[in-house]
Amino acid sequence: MRKSVVLMLCVKAFLKEKIETVFTDNWRPVFVNDFDEAIRVIKHTPVSCFVVDHHSRDKEIITQFCRQFETIPIILYSNSSLHSDWLRNITLPEKIIATACNTIEELLSEIPIIIKNRSFQSDLKIFGINPEQYSPRIKKCLGMIIEEFHENITVEAIADRLDIHRSHLEREWHRECGSITPKQLLIGLKLHYSTFLMQNAGLKLKDIAHLDGFANEHEFYRSFHSHMGMTASCYRRDRLFAEFALCWQRAK
């Protein structure tokens, strides 16, 4: 299972060491030294959460970051009750989650909740998919697609891992999920994720194409226009982020 990435800024050495020794089922820490380094990571890696500790108190930088990356929730972490006041008194945009955690245990329990509630979730009903009614093999195939769609996984690779020929897999898929092919679902999830990422002004379309797992930005532009009926730049300009289900069109 792919683990969500949690950026951690200005974490002291002893805290970093403790976090690195903690086994987590669904997330992994990536430590950065400043906001510029955090942004470089965000442009190349899907990030689910950003933890900023009490040593990074620059309200203006934090607020500016939030405006540039609306889909990445921030936990403002304080490992001592002595530093809780700055969390209570800081005025931040709605997207920021300010949490005064006085122990590492509180922080570690908060992170998976934030990831579950705030990270990208694709509604498979948009694509006519109902996993509950499928056979075990098709469920496995579907699980691979959901977990790895932005890693440029192919239908051929999925078939190989299931120890089945692609054509056999596609016939079996068609019997159970006739309204859409595995390839169409891969593209659909990539584009759905791209519309989610477009909310982040700090990401250029070429960054989004990379994060989506497209081979290059031109492939992203072509796929977006073909399946969404408009260019990616127009979609983003008009801020149609909540309209994916209305715009999505499967390839003929």
Which tens digit of pLDDT belongs to each residue from 133-175?
A: 899 999 999 999 998 998 888 999 999 999 999 999 999 999 9
* Rounded-to-integer distance, Cα 31 and Cα 51, Å: 9
- The CATH number assigned to the domain with range 4-118 reads 3.40.50.2300
Q: Which long-range contacts (CB under 8 A, 24 or more apart) does 230-237 make?
A: 232/194, 232/198, 232/205, 232/208, 233/205, 235/195, 235/198, 236/198, 236/205
Structural domain boundaries of the chain? 4-118, 124-247
Q: Has residue 232 got a pLDDT over 90?
A: yes
Quote the CA–CA distance of 14 and 88 in Å, as a whole number. 26
Mean pLDDT of 213-225: 93
Distance of alpha carbon 140 from alpha carbon 131, whole angstroms: 10
Alpha carbons 252 and 238: distance in angstroms, whole number = 26
Q: Is 124-247 in the same CATH topology as 4-118?
A: no
pLDDT at 214 over 80: yes
Across 13-30, average pLDDT: 79
The per-residue pLDDT for range 69-103, each reduced to its tens digit, is 989 988 877 766 555 565 556 566 665 665 666 67
- Specify the CATH superfamily of domain 124-247: Homeodomain-like (1.10.10.60)
Q: List all residues 6 or more positions away from 38 whose beta carbon is below 8 Å from its beta carbon.
A: 7, 9, 32, 50, 65
The mean pLDDT of 197-205, rounded to a whole number, is 95
Is the pLDDT assigned to residue 194 strictly greater than 60?
A: yes
118 pLDDT above the threshold of 90 = no
Tell me, what's the pLDDT at 145?
Answer: 93
